[in-house]
Structure 1
Amino acid sequence: MALRLTLLASSRSSSVLDVRFGDSRSLDAAGWHEVKRAGPSLSHLAAAELRYCSPSVRCRETGLSLGLSPVAQPALRDCDMGRWSGYTLREVAAREPQSVQSWLSDPRSAPHGGESLMTFIQRIGGWLDTRPVGDGSWIVAVTEPGVMRAALCYVLKAPPQSYWHVDAQPLSLITLSGRAGEWSLNLEN
């Protein structure tokens, strides 16, 4: 039987204009409010046999606030942005416009000295493909929005540039089913 894996995007730790590469800040007031408001509709996630999270503070806080008691998975960390970590896209683009353009247009480019988009997608795919497949097992993972985007690219075998066309809002859910190399996206009510 196939594994069922639900990915939940963490709640927010900053406003959209202050999103920083490699951000590991705690949930902000709006993020805490979102989790509290969404808690009842997400309570069913606690029934999963395994519950994981990305190692960032906001992912752990989101999972704990929902009663998931998730185990941090280092492989679910966000893309390593090297020397750009801690800066906003706007700040980096003002200093290194050609490097940002290269990063956005070439999935193998890593001008920041961290991971390329291609490497990031493959890392997340590797984590997906090594999940234990039991008899109808269900896993939930609270992740960074970027991890959800990378997982979708991997599962759908979409070109890496598709990453830029996926919008993972805070507390959005996707469910995948399958096993190593044979994944499907499930759209549920």
Structure 2
Amino acid sequence: MLVTLIAAARSSTLLDARFGDDRPLDTAGWRELERAIPALLPLAAAELRYCSPTPGSRQTGEAIGLAPLAQPALRDCDMGRWSGLTLQEVTAREPGAVDVWLSDPRSAPHGGEPLLSFVARVGGWLDTRPIDDDGRVVAVTEPSVIRAAMLYALKAPPLSYWRTEVHPLSVVSLSGGRGRWSLRLG
């Protein structure tokens, strides 16, 4: 099986990115998406088409012709009381808590979901896709979810999450199934 993950077009500038951001696409995001549509259109042929429940993911999926089904398991990490805040705002308010969050993948100083639980949730979603050797699945979601999926597939150490970047409209493919995933480039 081949699972292709597409990072939703942006809904804010990097400096204005907020934890749990569920705003619709901004003007720049729509422009970038319009330029990317020709390259992404072939992905609409996938048998199963999903998106995270956020407006930006749904808008991205609909624009490329997916008519995606929202999947709660593909939502961003639950950031508890930090939701809606920028990293800069949280760091100014709770610098010690941010340090703990970045260094201990089991911690959830924000009161939400620990990094390890987030990666396990995303991995669980991957592992429950119907197995079909020739099957194709496509999902539009937040870059953080794609980072978690890559960690799960590679069985990488949790702190590798902070060393992985996924930009809006990036495409990552995973092949395999049920705990035996491989990152597929190209």
Alignment TM-score, normalising by the size of structure 2: 0.99
Partner residue, 2:148? 150
Q: Distance in 2 between matches of 1:186 and 1:151?
A: 12
In structure 2, stretches of 5+ residues that fail to align are: none
Q: Displacement of 1:67 after TM fit?
A: 1.0
Q: CA RMSD in A?
A: 0.6
Equivalence map 1:69-80=2 (5 Å): 69-80=67-78
Equivalence map 1:93-172=2 (5 Å): 93-172=91-170
**1:45-85 per-position Cα deviation (integer Å, ceiling 9, x unaligned):** 11100100011010000001111110000010000000000
Q: Displacement of 1:134 after TM fit?
A: 1.8
Q: Distance in 1 between matches of 2:42 and 2:16?
A: 32
The one-letter code matched in structure 2 to 1:60 is R
The one-letter code matched in structure 2 to 1:105 is S
Q: Distance in 2 between matches of 1:181 and 1:145?
A: 21
**1:128-187 per-position Cα deviation (integer Å, ceiling 9, x unaligned):** 011001241000000100000000000000000000111100000111010101111111
Equivalence map 1:1-189=2 (5 Å): 3-188=1-186
Q: Distance in 1 between matches of 2:113 and 2:74?
A: 13
The number of aligned residues is 186
Question: Sequence identity of aligned pairs in percent?
Answer: 64
The one-letter code matched in structure 2 to 1:149 is R
In structure 1, stretches of 5+ residues that fail to align are: none
The one-letter code matched in structure 2 to 1:154 is Y
**Which stretches of structure 1, 4 residues or more, deviate above 3 A after TM superposition?**
none
